[in-house]
Structure 1
Amino acid sequence: MIGNLRLAVVLIVLLMATLILMPVQILAVATGFPDPRAIPQFWHRLALRCLGLRIRLRGKLRKTRPLMIAANHVSWADIVVLGALVPASFIAKSDIAEWPLIGILAKLQRSIFVERTERRKAAAQAAQIAQRLQNEDVMVLFAEGTTGDGSSLLPFKSTLFEAPRMVLGEEVESILVQPVSIIYTRMHGIVMSRSERIAASWIGDTDLLPHLLRLLREGGADVEVSFGEPIRFDRQMSRKVVAKKVQDNVAAMMAVSLRDPL
Protein backbone atom coordinates (compact mmCIF):
# COMPACT_ATOMS: atom_id res chain seq x y z
CA MET A 1 0.00 0.00 0.00
CA ILE A 2 2.75 2.44 1.02
CA GLY A 3 4.76 1.47 -2.06
CA ASN A 4 1.81 2.18 -4.38
CA LEU A 5 1.15 5.51 -2.65
CA ARG A 6 4.79 6.48 -3.04
CA LEU A 7 4.65 5.47 -6.71
CA ALA A 8 1.61 7.66 -7.33
CA VAL A 9 3.13 10.72 -5.61
CA VAL A 10 6.45 10.36 -7.46
CA LEU A 11 4.76 9.98 -10.83
CA ILE A 12 2.58 13.05 -10.26
CA VAL A 13 5.54 15.20 -9.17
CA LEU A 14 7.70 14.12 -12.11
CA LEU A 15 4.88 14.57 -14.59
CA MET A 16 4.06 18.06 -13.35
CA ALA A 17 7.73 19.08 -13.38
CA THR A 18 8.17 17.69 -16.89
CA LEU A 19 5.14 19.53 -18.25
CA ILE A 20 6.33 22.81 -16.72
CA LEU A 21 9.98 22.52 -17.77
CA MET A 22 9.49 21.04 -21.23
CA PRO A 23 8.43 24.26 -23.03
CA VAL A 24 11.25 26.16 -21.32
CA GLN A 25 13.78 23.58 -22.52
CA ILE A 26 12.33 23.69 -26.05
CA LEU A 27 12.98 27.44 -26.04
CA ALA A 28 16.47 26.91 -24.60
CA VAL A 29 17.42 24.38 -27.29
CA ALA A 30 16.10 26.65 -30.03
CA THR A 31 17.64 29.92 -28.81
CA GLY A 32 20.41 29.04 -26.36
CA PHE A 33 18.63 30.96 -23.58
CA PRO A 34 18.35 29.91 -20.87
CA ASP A 35 21.38 27.59 -20.91
CA PRO A 36 20.05 24.33 -22.41
CA ARG A 37 22.37 22.35 -20.11
CA ALA A 38 20.90 23.78 -16.89
CA ILE A 39 17.26 22.70 -17.08
CA PRO A 40 17.95 18.98 -17.66
CA GLN A 41 20.34 18.99 -14.70
CA PHE A 42 17.62 20.53 -12.52
CA TRP A 43 15.14 17.87 -13.71
CA HIS A 44 17.59 15.05 -12.98
CA ARG A 45 18.21 16.40 -9.47
CA LEU A 46 14.47 16.45 -8.82
CA ALA A 47 14.11 12.93 -10.24
CA LEU A 48 16.99 11.76 -8.06
CA ARG A 49 15.09 12.87 -4.95
CA CYS A 50 11.84 11.37 -6.19
CA LEU A 51 13.52 8.03 -6.86
CA GLY A 52 15.09 8.02 -3.40
CA LEU A 53 18.60 7.65 -4.82
CA ARG A 54 21.46 8.87 -2.62
CA ILE A 55 24.79 9.62 -4.28
CA ARG A 56 28.12 8.88 -2.59
CA LEU A 57 31.00 10.62 -4.37
CA ARG A 58 34.65 9.77 -4.86
CA GLY A 59 36.80 12.22 -6.79
CA LYS A 60 35.63 15.24 -8.76
CA LEU A 61 34.47 16.15 -12.23
CA ARG A 62 37.30 17.79 -14.16
CA LYS A 63 36.44 21.37 -15.13
CA THR A 64 38.74 21.48 -18.18
CA ARG A 65 37.01 21.49 -21.56
CA PRO A 66 36.76 19.77 -24.01
CA LEU A 67 35.86 16.74 -21.88
CA MET A 68 34.31 13.36 -22.57
CA ILE A 69 33.15 11.08 -19.76
CA ALA A 70 33.38 7.32 -20.25
CA ALA A 71 31.44 5.25 -17.71
CA ASN A 72 30.21 1.75 -17.02
CA HIS A 73 26.48 1.22 -17.40
CA VAL A 74 24.24 -0.58 -14.89
CA SER A 75 20.75 0.86 -15.21
CA TRP A 76 18.60 3.53 -16.84
CA ALA A 77 18.97 5.26 -13.45
CA ASP A 78 22.64 5.95 -14.35
CA ILE A 79 21.35 8.74 -16.61
CA VAL A 80 19.51 10.40 -13.73
CA VAL A 81 22.56 10.02 -11.46
CA LEU A 82 25.11 11.45 -13.91
CA GLY A 83 22.61 14.00 -15.22
CA ALA A 84 22.21 15.34 -11.68
CA LEU A 85 25.98 15.61 -11.18
CA VAL A 86 27.10 16.88 -14.59
CA PRO A 87 25.52 19.40 -17.01
CA ALA A 88 26.07 16.94 -19.83
CA SER A 89 24.50 15.31 -22.85
CA PHE A 90 24.44 11.57 -23.43
CA ILE A 91 25.44 9.30 -26.29
CA ALA A 92 22.51 6.91 -26.59
CA LYS A 93 21.38 4.00 -28.73
CA SER A 94 19.31 5.09 -31.70
CA ASP A 95 16.19 3.15 -30.69
CA ILE A 96 15.82 5.26 -27.53
CA ALA A 97 14.86 8.21 -29.75
CA GLU A 98 11.61 6.37 -30.57
CA TRP A 99 10.62 5.49 -27.00
CA PRO A 100 7.45 7.22 -25.75
CA LEU A 101 8.23 10.33 -23.65
CA ILE A 102 11.77 9.10 -22.81
CA GLY A 103 12.78 9.68 -26.43
CA ILE A 104 11.42 13.23 -26.30
CA LEU A 105 13.26 13.95 -23.05
CA ALA A 106 16.48 12.54 -24.47
CA LYS A 107 16.18 14.78 -27.52
CA LEU A 108 15.54 17.82 -25.34
CA GLN A 109 18.73 17.01 -23.44
CA ARG A 110 20.42 17.13 -26.86
CA SER A 111 21.47 13.50 -26.76
CA ILE A 112 23.32 12.09 -29.73
CA PHE A 113 21.76 8.86 -31.00
CA VAL A 114 24.10 6.28 -32.51
CA GLU A 115 23.68 2.96 -34.28
CA ARG A 116 26.48 0.85 -32.81
CA THR A 117 25.94 -2.04 -35.23
CA GLU A 118 26.26 0.17 -38.34
CA ARG A 119 30.02 0.40 -38.83
CA ARG A 120 29.65 2.45 -42.01
CA LYS A 121 28.02 5.21 -39.92
CA ALA A 122 30.70 5.20 -37.21
CA ALA A 123 32.81 8.02 -38.67
CA ALA A 124 29.82 10.35 -39.14
CA GLN A 125 28.58 9.59 -35.63
CA ALA A 126 32.02 10.24 -34.14
CA ALA A 127 32.23 13.53 -36.06
CA GLN A 128 28.89 14.62 -34.59
CA ILE A 129 30.16 13.92 -31.08
CA ALA A 130 33.44 15.71 -31.86
CA GLN A 131 31.53 18.83 -32.91
CA ARG A 132 29.71 18.92 -29.60
CA LEU A 133 32.99 18.46 -27.71
CA GLN A 134 34.46 21.38 -29.64
CA ASN A 135 31.48 23.45 -28.46
CA GLU A 136 32.53 22.56 -24.88
CA ASP A 137 29.57 20.28 -24.25
CA VAL A 138 30.45 17.45 -21.86
CA MET A 139 29.47 14.20 -23.56
CA VAL A 140 28.80 10.99 -21.61
CA LEU A 141 29.64 7.68 -23.29
CA PHE A 142 28.54 4.38 -21.74
CA ALA A 143 31.47 2.61 -23.29
CA GLU A 144 30.36 -1.00 -22.76
CA GLY A 145 27.63 -0.42 -25.34
CA THR A 146 25.02 -2.08 -23.10
CA THR A 147 24.18 -2.48 -19.41
CA GLY A 148 26.14 -4.81 -17.13
CA ASP A 149 25.23 -6.78 -14.01
CA GLY A 150 26.35 -4.14 -11.52
CA SER A 151 29.37 -6.10 -10.29
CA SER A 152 31.56 -6.71 -13.34
CA LEU A 153 32.70 -4.70 -16.35
CA LEU A 154 32.22 -5.58 -20.01
CA PRO A 155 34.98 -4.71 -22.51
CA PHE A 156 34.84 -1.09 -23.67
CA LYS A 157 34.05 -0.58 -27.34
CA SER A 158 36.63 1.76 -28.85
CA THR A 159 34.76 2.98 -31.95
CA LEU A 160 33.33 6.19 -30.47
CA PHE A 161 36.63 7.03 -28.78
CA GLU A 162 37.50 8.29 -32.24
CA ALA A 163 35.37 11.38 -31.44
CA PRO A 164 37.89 13.04 -29.09
CA ARG A 165 40.67 12.26 -31.58
CA MET A 166 38.75 14.26 -34.21
CA VAL A 167 38.87 17.33 -31.95
CA LEU A 168 42.67 17.39 -32.04
CA GLY A 169 44.22 20.00 -34.32
CA GLU A 170 46.39 23.10 -34.35
CA GLU A 171 44.38 24.76 -31.58
CA VAL A 172 43.70 21.63 -29.51
CA GLU A 173 46.76 19.49 -28.79
CA SER A 174 45.01 17.13 -26.39
CA ILE A 175 41.59 16.32 -24.96
CA LEU A 176 40.62 14.76 -21.65
CA VAL A 177 38.60 11.56 -21.28
CA GLN A 178 37.51 11.10 -17.67
CA PRO A 179 36.77 7.58 -16.39
CA VAL A 180 33.69 7.27 -14.17
CA SER A 181 32.40 4.23 -12.31
CA ILE A 182 28.84 3.74 -11.08
CA ILE A 183 28.06 1.13 -8.43
CA TYR A 184 24.75 0.64 -6.61
CA THR A 185 25.97 -0.25 -3.12
CA ARG A 186 23.13 -0.22 -0.59
CA MET A 187 19.37 -0.63 -0.36
CA HIS A 188 17.78 1.11 2.63
CA GLY A 189 21.23 1.36 4.23
CA ILE A 190 22.10 -2.34 3.91
CA VAL A 191 25.03 -3.32 1.67
CA MET A 192 23.80 -5.23 -1.38
CA SER A 193 25.02 -8.72 -2.15
CA ARG A 194 26.09 -9.61 -5.70
CA SER A 195 22.69 -11.20 -6.40
CA GLU A 196 20.91 -8.09 -5.10
CA ARG A 197 23.02 -5.86 -7.35
CA ILE A 198 22.13 -8.05 -10.32
CA ALA A 199 18.45 -7.73 -9.41
CA ALA A 200 18.84 -3.93 -9.15
CA SER A 201 20.58 -3.64 -12.52
CA TRP A 202 18.79 -3.28 -15.84
CA ILE A 203 20.51 -5.85 -18.05
CA GLY A 204 20.31 -5.96 -21.84
CA ASP A 205 16.77 -6.53 -23.08
CA THR A 206 15.04 -6.61 -19.67
CA ASP A 207 11.71 -4.79 -19.83
CA LEU A 208 12.15 -1.20 -18.67
CA LEU A 209 8.72 -0.53 -17.16
CA PRO A 210 8.72 -3.22 -14.42
CA HIS A 211 12.25 -2.23 -13.40
CA LEU A 212 11.29 1.45 -13.29
CA LEU A 213 8.13 0.84 -11.26
CA ARG A 214 9.97 -1.35 -8.75
CA LEU A 215 12.57 1.34 -8.04
CA LEU A 216 9.87 4.02 -7.82
CA ARG A 217 7.98 1.93 -5.24
CA GLU A 218 11.01 0.96 -3.13
CA GLY A 219 13.45 3.90 -3.32
CA GLY A 220 16.22 4.11 -0.74
CA ALA A 221 19.16 3.01 -2.91
CA ASP A 222 22.72 4.31 -2.48
CA VAL A 223 24.83 4.75 -5.61
CA GLU A 224 28.56 5.37 -5.48
CA VAL A 225 30.00 7.47 -8.30
CA SER A 226 33.78 7.67 -8.70
CA PHE A 227 35.42 10.29 -10.92
CA GLY A 228 38.85 9.05 -11.91
CA GLU A 229 41.95 10.88 -13.07
CA PRO A 230 41.35 11.96 -16.69
CA ILE A 231 43.30 10.31 -19.51
CA ARG A 232 44.99 12.85 -21.77
CA PHE A 233 44.28 11.88 -25.39
CA ASP A 234 46.87 13.35 -27.78
CA ARG A 235 48.07 12.68 -31.32
CA GLN A 236 50.46 9.93 -30.22
CA MET A 237 47.66 7.79 -28.76
CA SER A 238 45.18 5.56 -30.57
CA ARG A 239 41.52 5.26 -29.65
CA LYS A 240 42.03 1.60 -28.71
CA VAL A 241 44.83 2.48 -26.29
CA VAL A 242 42.72 5.22 -24.70
CA ALA A 243 39.67 2.95 -24.45
CA LYS A 244 41.77 0.27 -22.69
CA LYS A 245 43.31 2.78 -20.26
CA VAL A 246 39.88 4.18 -19.39
CA GLN A 247 38.44 0.66 -19.02
CA ASP A 248 41.23 -0.35 -16.63
CA ASN A 249 40.65 2.77 -14.51
CA VAL A 250 36.89 2.20 -14.34
CA ALA A 251 37.44 -1.44 -13.36
CA ALA A 252 39.82 -0.40 -10.57
CA MET A 253 37.35 2.18 -9.20
CA MET A 254 34.51 -0.34 -9.34
CA ALA A 255 36.61 -2.81 -7.34
CA VAL A 256 37.20 -0.21 -4.61
CA SER A 257 33.49 0.65 -4.39
CA LEU A 258 32.50 -3.02 -4.21
CA ARG A 259 35.15 -3.88 -1.63
CA ASP A 260 34.72 -0.87 0.64
CA PRO A 261 31.56 1.15 -0.17
CA LEU A 262 31.21 4.61 1.32
Structure 2
Amino acid sequence: MIAKIRNGLILLFVAAVTTAVAVSQLTVLKTGWGNPSFVPRLWHKAILWALGFRVHVEGSLSRKRPLLIVANHVSWTDIGVLGSIADVSFIAKAQMQGWPLMGWLSTLQRTVFVDRERRHSSVDQASEIGERLKAGDAMVLFAEGTTGDGNRMLPFKSTLFGAATLAIGKGATAHEGVQEVAIQPVAIAYVRRHGIPLGRAGRMTLSWIGDQDLVPHVAGLLKLGAVDVEVRFGEPVMFSAGSNRKEATRLVEARVKAMMQAALHGTEAG
Protein backbone atom coordinates (compact mmCIF):
# COMPACT_ATOMS: atom_id res chain seq x y z
CA MET A 1 0.00 0.00 0.00
CA ILE A 2 2.77 2.44 0.94
CA ALA A 3 4.56 1.69 -2.33
CA LYS A 4 1.37 2.39 -4.33
CA ILE A 5 0.83 5.70 -2.52
CA ARG A 6 4.47 6.66 -3.13
CA ASN A 7 4.25 5.79 -6.83
CA GLY A 8 0.98 7.71 -7.13
CA LEU A 9 2.55 10.81 -5.61
CA ILE A 10 5.54 10.47 -7.93
CA LEU A 11 3.26 10.27 -10.96
CA LEU A 12 1.35 13.36 -9.81
CA PHE A 13 4.65 15.19 -9.39
CA VAL A 14 5.81 14.14 -12.86
CA ALA A 15 2.49 15.22 -14.40
CA ALA A 16 2.65 18.64 -12.74
CA VAL A 17 6.27 19.23 -13.70
CA THR A 18 5.68 18.05 -17.27
CA THR A 19 2.74 20.41 -17.71
CA ALA A 20 4.71 23.39 -16.39
CA VAL A 21 7.75 22.51 -18.51
CA ALA A 22 5.70 22.03 -21.68
CA VAL A 23 4.03 25.44 -21.32
CA SER A 24 7.36 27.13 -20.59
CA GLN A 25 9.13 25.44 -23.50
CA LEU A 26 6.34 26.31 -25.94
CA THR A 27 6.71 29.93 -24.87
CA VAL A 28 10.48 29.84 -25.41
CA LEU A 29 10.15 28.28 -28.86
CA LYS A 30 7.41 30.65 -30.03
CA THR A 31 8.95 33.87 -28.71
CA GLY A 32 12.65 33.06 -29.11
CA TRP A 33 13.28 34.30 -25.57
CA GLY A 34 15.73 32.29 -23.52
CA ASN A 35 17.78 29.15 -24.09
CA PRO A 36 15.62 26.37 -25.65
CA SER A 37 17.77 23.74 -23.90
CA PHE A 38 17.36 25.14 -20.37
CA VAL A 39 13.77 24.10 -19.63
CA PRO A 40 14.15 20.51 -20.93
CA ARG A 41 17.22 20.17 -18.72
CA LEU A 42 15.12 20.98 -15.66
CA TRP A 43 12.54 18.40 -16.76
CA HIS A 44 15.17 15.69 -17.13
CA LYS A 45 16.51 16.46 -13.66
CA ALA A 46 12.99 16.19 -12.20
CA ILE A 47 12.32 12.84 -13.91
CA LEU A 48 15.61 11.38 -12.71
CA TRP A 49 14.85 12.57 -9.17
CA ALA A 50 11.45 10.89 -9.35
CA LEU A 51 13.03 7.64 -10.50
CA GLY A 52 15.75 7.81 -7.84
CA PHE A 53 18.61 8.02 -10.37
CA ARG A 54 21.87 9.66 -9.32
CA VAL A 55 24.20 10.75 -12.10
CA HIS A 56 27.98 10.82 -11.65
CA VAL A 57 30.06 12.57 -14.30
CA GLU A 58 33.68 12.11 -15.31
CA GLY A 59 35.03 14.65 -17.75
CA SER A 60 32.85 17.29 -19.37
CA LEU A 61 31.06 18.29 -22.53
CA SER A 62 33.53 19.67 -25.06
CA ARG A 63 33.42 23.41 -25.77
CA LYS A 64 34.32 22.78 -29.41
CA ARG A 65 31.67 23.50 -32.02
CA PRO A 66 30.28 22.02 -34.17
CA LEU A 67 29.92 19.09 -31.75
CA LEU A 68 28.45 15.64 -32.39
CA ILE A 69 28.17 13.57 -29.22
CA VAL A 70 28.26 9.82 -29.81
CA ALA A 71 27.13 7.54 -26.98
CA ASN A 72 26.14 3.95 -26.27
CA HIS A 73 22.45 3.28 -25.66
CA VAL A 74 20.95 1.22 -22.82
CA SER A 75 17.49 2.63 -22.17
CA TRP A 76 15.10 5.53 -22.74
CA THR A 77 16.51 6.87 -19.46
CA ASP A 78 19.79 7.65 -21.28
CA ILE A 79 18.04 10.71 -22.72
CA GLY A 80 17.27 12.00 -19.24
CA VAL A 81 20.75 11.18 -17.98
CA LEU A 82 22.51 13.18 -20.72
CA GLY A 83 19.81 15.85 -20.90
CA SER A 84 20.13 16.55 -17.17
CA ILE A 85 23.85 17.39 -17.29
CA ALA A 86 24.30 19.25 -20.57
CA ASP A 87 22.43 21.49 -23.01
CA VAL A 88 22.03 19.04 -25.88
CA SER A 89 19.55 17.96 -28.54
CA PHE A 90 18.94 14.39 -29.59
CA ILE A 91 18.79 12.33 -32.75
CA ALA A 92 16.06 9.69 -32.37
CA LYS A 93 14.38 7.00 -34.43
CA ALA A 94 11.32 8.13 -36.39
CA GLN A 95 8.94 5.80 -34.52
CA MET A 96 9.47 7.81 -31.36
CA GLN A 97 7.75 10.83 -32.91
CA GLY A 98 4.46 8.93 -32.87
CA TRP A 99 4.63 7.87 -29.22
CA PRO A 100 1.90 9.39 -27.01
CA LEU A 101 3.26 12.30 -24.95
CA MET A 102 6.92 11.25 -25.32
CA GLY A 103 6.94 12.07 -29.03
CA TRP A 104 5.45 15.50 -28.39
CA LEU A 105 7.91 16.23 -25.57
CA SER A 106 10.79 15.13 -27.79
CA THR A 107 9.59 17.55 -30.46
CA LEU A 108 9.60 20.35 -27.88
CA GLN A 109 13.25 19.56 -27.20
CA ARG A 110 13.93 20.00 -30.94
CA THR A 111 14.79 16.34 -31.51
CA VAL A 112 15.70 15.31 -35.05
CA PHE A 113 13.78 12.13 -35.96
CA VAL A 114 15.49 9.72 -38.31
CA ASP A 115 13.90 7.01 -40.45
CA ARG A 116 16.77 4.65 -41.23
CA GLU A 117 14.58 2.46 -43.43
CA ARG A 118 13.98 5.19 -46.03
CA ARG A 119 17.17 6.05 -47.87
CA HIS A 120 16.06 9.42 -49.32
CA SER A 121 14.69 10.54 -45.95
CA SER A 122 17.99 9.62 -44.27
CA VAL A 123 19.86 11.99 -46.60
CA ASP A 124 17.47 14.86 -45.79
CA GLN A 125 17.64 14.09 -42.08
CA ALA A 126 21.44 13.92 -42.10
CA SER A 127 21.39 17.31 -43.85
CA GLU A 128 19.15 18.71 -41.09
CA ILE A 129 21.54 17.39 -38.44
CA GLY A 130 24.44 18.97 -40.34
CA GLU A 131 22.68 22.35 -40.32
CA ARG A 132 21.98 22.06 -36.60
CA LEU A 133 25.66 21.27 -35.99
CA LYS A 134 26.74 24.31 -37.99
CA ALA A 135 24.29 26.43 -36.00
CA GLY A 136 26.14 25.46 -32.80
CA ASP A 137 23.76 22.85 -31.40
CA ALA A 138 25.41 19.94 -29.57
CA MET A 139 23.68 16.89 -31.08
CA VAL A 140 23.56 13.46 -29.40
CA LEU A 141 23.71 10.35 -31.58
CA PHE A 142 23.13 6.88 -30.12
CA ALA A 143 25.20 5.19 -32.77
CA GLU A 144 24.22 1.58 -32.06
CA GLY A 145 20.86 2.36 -33.64
CA THR A 146 19.05 0.51 -30.85
CA THR A 147 19.44 -0.26 -27.15
CA GLY A 148 21.84 -2.82 -25.70
CA ASP A 149 21.57 -4.83 -22.47
CA GLY A 150 23.81 -2.57 -20.39
CA ASN A 151 26.65 -5.12 -20.34
CA ARG A 152 28.01 -4.91 -23.87
CA MET A 153 27.84 -2.59 -26.84
CA LEU A 154 26.49 -3.29 -30.29
CA PRO A 155 28.53 -2.18 -33.34
CA PHE A 156 28.16 1.50 -34.17
CA LYS A 157 26.46 2.40 -37.46
CA SER A 158 28.40 4.87 -39.60
CA THR A 159 25.46 6.17 -41.68
CA LEU A 160 24.54 9.21 -39.60
CA PHE A 161 28.19 10.13 -39.10
CA GLY A 162 27.56 11.53 -42.57
CA ALA A 163 25.97 14.50 -40.81
CA ALA A 164 29.48 15.53 -39.79
CA THR A 165 30.49 15.49 -43.46
CA LEU A 166 27.51 17.65 -44.41
CA ALA A 167 28.43 20.21 -41.75
CA ILE A 168 31.82 20.75 -43.38
CA GLY A 169 32.37 23.15 -46.23
CA LYS A 170 30.16 25.81 -47.71
CA GLY A 171 26.45 25.28 -47.21
CA ALA A 172 23.42 26.66 -49.01
CA THR A 173 21.99 28.21 -45.85
CA ALA A 174 22.75 31.25 -43.74
CA HIS A 175 25.29 29.29 -41.69
CA GLU A 176 28.81 29.23 -43.05
CA GLY A 177 30.53 25.93 -43.59
CA VAL A 178 33.18 24.74 -41.11
CA GLN A 179 36.57 23.11 -41.49
CA GLU A 180 36.01 20.28 -39.02
CA VAL A 181 33.51 18.77 -36.59
CA ALA A 182 34.36 17.53 -33.09
CA ILE A 183 32.94 14.05 -32.42
CA GLN A 184 32.95 13.39 -28.68
CA PRO A 185 32.70 9.81 -27.38
CA VAL A 186 30.49 9.43 -24.29
CA ALA A 187 29.86 6.27 -22.25
CA ILE A 188 26.76 5.65 -20.12
CA ALA A 189 26.92 2.88 -17.50
CA TYR A 190 24.38 1.86 -14.88
CA VAL A 191 26.63 0.72 -12.04
CA ARG A 192 24.94 0.47 -8.62
CA ARG A 193 21.60 0.00 -6.91
CA HIS A 194 21.34 1.23 -3.30
CA GLY A 195 25.13 1.56 -3.37
CA ILE A 196 25.67 -2.10 -4.27
CA PRO A 197 27.35 -2.90 -7.61
CA LEU A 198 24.96 -4.22 -10.24
CA GLY A 199 25.75 -7.57 -11.82
CA ARG A 200 24.91 -8.56 -15.38
CA ALA A 201 21.33 -9.48 -14.46
CA GLY A 202 20.83 -6.21 -12.59
CA ARG A 203 22.00 -4.15 -15.56
CA MET A 204 19.69 -6.08 -17.87
CA THR A 205 16.77 -5.22 -15.60
CA LEU A 206 17.53 -1.52 -16.09
CA SER A 207 17.93 -1.82 -19.86
CA TRP A 208 15.05 -1.29 -22.26
CA ILE A 209 15.45 -3.63 -25.18
CA GLY A 210 13.60 -3.91 -28.48
CA ASP A 211 9.82 -3.61 -28.40
CA GLN A 212 9.48 -3.81 -24.63
CA ASP A 213 6.42 -1.85 -23.42
CA LEU A 214 7.33 1.47 -21.82
CA VAL A 215 4.73 1.63 -19.01
CA PRO A 216 5.70 -1.70 -17.34
CA HIS A 217 9.36 -0.73 -17.64
CA VAL A 218 8.73 2.58 -15.89
CA ALA A 219 6.78 0.77 -13.17
CA GLY A 220 9.69 -1.60 -12.69
CA LEU A 221 12.17 1.28 -12.37
CA LEU A 222 10.02 2.91 -9.68
CA LYS A 223 10.33 -0.27 -7.60
CA LEU A 224 14.12 -0.39 -7.84
CA GLY A 225 14.93 2.66 -5.74
CA ALA A 226 18.25 4.51 -5.88
CA VAL A 227 20.31 3.76 -8.99
CA ASP A 228 23.75 5.22 -9.74
CA VAL A 229 24.63 6.06 -13.33
CA GLU A 230 28.10 6.99 -14.55
CA VAL A 231 28.65 9.21 -17.58
CA ARG A 232 32.18 9.46 -18.94
CA PHE A 233 33.14 12.09 -21.51
CA GLY A 234 36.11 11.29 -23.71
CA GLU A 235 38.39 13.50 -25.77
CA PRO A 236 36.81 14.57 -29.08
CA VAL A 237 37.89 13.07 -32.38
CA MET A 238 38.31 15.81 -34.96
CA PHE A 239 36.55 15.01 -38.24
CA SER A 240 37.49 16.98 -41.37
CA ALA A 241 36.82 16.82 -45.10
CA GLY A 242 39.62 14.28 -45.56
CA SER A 243 38.46 11.98 -42.75
CA ASN A 244 37.14 8.50 -43.44
CA ARG A 245 33.65 8.09 -41.98
CA LYS A 246 33.99 4.37 -41.24
CA GLU A 247 37.41 4.77 -39.65
CA ALA A 248 36.09 7.60 -37.46
CA THR A 249 33.14 5.41 -36.46
CA ARG A 250 35.38 2.54 -35.40
CA LEU A 251 37.70 4.87 -33.46
CA VAL A 252 34.85 6.51 -31.55
CA GLU A 253 33.22 3.11 -30.95
CA ALA A 254 36.44 1.76 -29.42
CA ARG A 255 36.74 4.75 -27.08
CA VAL A 256 33.13 4.54 -25.93
CA LYS A 257 33.46 0.79 -25.34
CA ALA A 258 36.65 1.25 -23.30
CA MET A 259 35.04 3.94 -21.12
CA MET A 260 31.86 1.92 -20.63
CA GLN A 261 33.72 -1.21 -19.55
CA ALA A 262 35.96 0.85 -17.25
CA ALA A 263 32.89 2.39 -15.61
CA LEU A 264 31.26 -1.03 -15.15
CA HIS A 265 34.40 -2.41 -13.52
CA GLY A 266 35.28 0.72 -11.54
CA THR A 267 38.58 1.34 -13.30
CA GLU A 268 40.16 4.02 -15.46
CA ALA A 269 39.79 3.70 -19.22
CA GLY A 270 43.04 2.76 -20.91
Q: TM-score, normalised by structure 1?
A: 0.96
Partner of 1:95: 95
Instruction: Note if contact 1:94-1:114 (Cα within 8 Å) is conserved in structure 2.
Output: yes
Partner of 2:50: 50
Deviation by residue 1:162-190 (Cα, 9 ceiling, x = unmatched): 00111112651111010011110011111
Partner of 1:21: 21
Instruction: Note if contact 1:224-1:261 (Cα within 8 Å) is conserved in structure 2.
Output: no
User: In the aligned structure 1, how far is the partner of 2:31 from the partner of 2:166?
Assistant: 27
Runs of 4+ displaced beyond 3 Å: none
Partner of 2:113: 113
User: In the aligned structure 1, how far is the partner of 2:204 from the partner of 2:2?
Assistant: 25
Is 1:126 matched with 2:126?
yes
Is 1:146 matched with 2:146?
yes
Partner of 1:214: 220
User: In the aligned structure 1, how far is the partner of 2:235 from the partner of 2:188?
Assistant: 15
Q: Which amino acid aligns with 2:260?
A: M
Q: Which amino acid aligns with 2:126?
A: A
Is 1:239 matched with 2:245?
yes
User: In the aligned structure 1, how far is the partner of 2:215 from the partner of 2:264?
Assistant: 27
User: In the aligned structure 2, how far is the partner of 1:72 from the partner of 1:56?
Assistant: 16
Moved more, 135-144 or 119-128: 119-128
Alpha-carbon distance, 1:3 to partner:
2.7
Instruction: Note if contact 2:41-2:84 (Cα within 8 Å) is conserved in structure 1.
Output: yes
- Choose which of 250, 260, 265 in structure 2 pairs with 1:259: 265
Q: Which amino acid aligns with 2:182?
A: L
Deviation by residue 1:167-215 (Cα, 9 ceiling, x = unmatched): 1126511110100111100111110111111121111111111111111
User: In the aligned structure 2, how far is the partner of 1:105 from the partner of 1:189?
Assistant: 32
Alpha-carbon distance, 1:32 to partner:
1.8
User: In the aligned structure 1, how far is the partner of 2:187 from the partner of 2:27?
Assistant: 33
Q: Which amino acid aligns with 2:252?
A: V
Aligned 1:65-76 pairs, distance under 5 A? 65-76=65-76
Q: Which amino acid aligns with 1:191?
A: P
User: In the aligned structure 1, how far is the partner of 2:127 from the partner of 2:213?
Assistant: 32
Alpha-carbon distance, 1:218 to partner:
2.6
SS at match of 1:54: strand
Q: Please, which runs of 5 or more residues in structure 1 have no aligned partner? A: none
User: In the aligned structure 1, how far is the partner of 2:147 from the partner of 2:50?
Assistant: 23
User: In the aligned structure 1, how far is the partner of 2:85 from the partner of 2:7?
Assistant: 24
Alpha-carbon distance, 1:261 to partner:
6.3
SS at match of 1:144: coil
User: In the aligned structure 2, how far is the partner of 1:115 from the partner of 1:101?
Assistant: 20
Deviation by residue 1:101-149 (Cα, 9 ceiling, x = unmatched): 1111000001011111222322111001011111111111000000001
User: In the aligned structure 2, how far is the partner of 1:7 from the partner of 1:113?
Assistant: 31
> How high is the sequence identity, in percent, across the aligned residues?
45
User: In the aligned structure 2, how far is the partner of 1:30 from the partner of 1:131?
Assistant: 20
Instruction: Note if contact 1:6-1:217 (Cα within 8 Å) is conserved in structure 2.
Output: no
Partner of 2:203: 197
User: In the aligned structure 1, how far is the partner of 2:5 from the partner of 2:231?
Assistant: 29
Partner of 2:36: 36
SS at match of 1:216: helix
Is 1:227 matched with 2:210?
no
Deviation by residue 1:61-112 (Cα, 9 ceiling, x = unmatched): 1112111111000011101100001111111111111111111100000101
Partner of 1:249: 255
Instruction: Note if contact 1:185-1:261 (Cα within 8 Å) is conserved in structure 2.
Output: no
Moved more, 165-174 or 191-200: 165-174
User: In the aligned structure 2, how far is the partner of 1:29 from the partner of 1:209?
Assistant: 29
Instruction: Note if contact 2:134-2:178 (Cα within 8 Å) is conserved in structure 1.
Output: no
Q: Please, which runs of 5 or more residues in structure 2 have no aligned partner? A: 171-176
Instruction: Note if contact 2:91-2:112 (Cα within 8 Å) is conserved in structure 1.
Output: yes
Aligned 1:170-189 pairs, distance under 5 A? 171-189=177-195
Is 1:157 matched with 2:164?
no
Q: Matched residue pairs, number? A: 262
User: In the aligned structure 2, how far is the partner of 1:21 from the partner of 1:195?
Assistant: 35
User: In the aligned structure 2, how far is the partner of 1:147 from the partner of 1:38?
Assistant: 26
User: In the aligned structure 2, how far is the partner of 1:99 from the partner of 1:261?
Assistant: 38
